Amino acid sequence: MLKKLLKYEFKATARTMGSMYLAMVAAAALLGFTMRMTIQHETKGFGSQGMENFFASAMMILMLGYVALILPTVVLTIMQGVQRFYKNLLGGEGYLMNTLPVSTRQLLASKTIAGVVWMAASAVVSVLSMLILLVVSSAGQSGLGEWVDMLPQVLRVFHYNTGVSLLNFAAGMVVAALCGCA
């Protein structure tokens, strides 16, 4: 029965979160493209001063929009989890939820599992959007190759200084954060 509870919990929350994730990834790609165009116009001297100002202004507006999407995504994820707990278990919908032939543990588990999964998904989509921003903004330039070449060196330095691999450290931090959120 927990499987069915989770299915409907994800259906109810996916509409809001999916559109927010899609908007964040689209804004990252658009911002990356605008950053690349701004850099090209400044370094290669394409066009006029008006075009450079246009791309610089568009980049600043898109950057504000991108940050304005990341912050509400984090807040919305937390608020949606709290709201789903309150409304579905303690509010008017709680009357219907508590008449289902499931235990209270399963009701709480479904809300908790869904909340933790959405928090993890928000973190993954945020990191993914930042990677998309990096890749799109430096496509066709030498900057991306330098990042890729530097990554193994960063991993070695981190391992040398801490005695733990960066990937194991990051995985541990993610697990700790998810446990803390639950």
Q: Which domain holds residue 40?
A: 2-140
Residue with tokens 């995504």: 73
Tens of pLDDT, residue by residue over 52-72, are 677 777 778 888 888 888 888
Within a domain: 162: no
Residue 112 neighbours by CB under 8 Å, 6+ apart: 182
In a domain? residue 165: no
Q: How far apart are the first and last CA of the chain?
A: 21
**Amino acid identity for residue 155 in this structure:** L
Residue 152 lies in a domain: no
Percent of the chain with pLDDT over 90: 1
**Residue 163 within a domain:** no
Q: Give per-residue pLDDT as tens, 145-182.
A: 666 677 777 777 777 777 777 777 777 877 787 777 66
Domain-located, residue 86: yes
The helix or strand, by DSSP H or E, that contains position 151, with its residue range, turns out to be helix 142-162
Within a domain: 48: yes
The Cα–Cα gap between 133 and 139 comes to: 10
How many domains does one find in the chain?
A: 1
pTM: predicted TM-score of the whole model, two decimal places: 0.72
Question: 48: pLDDT confidence band, cut at 50, 70 and 90?
Answer: low
- Model confidence at 26: pLDDT above 70: yes
In a domain, 181, yes or no: no
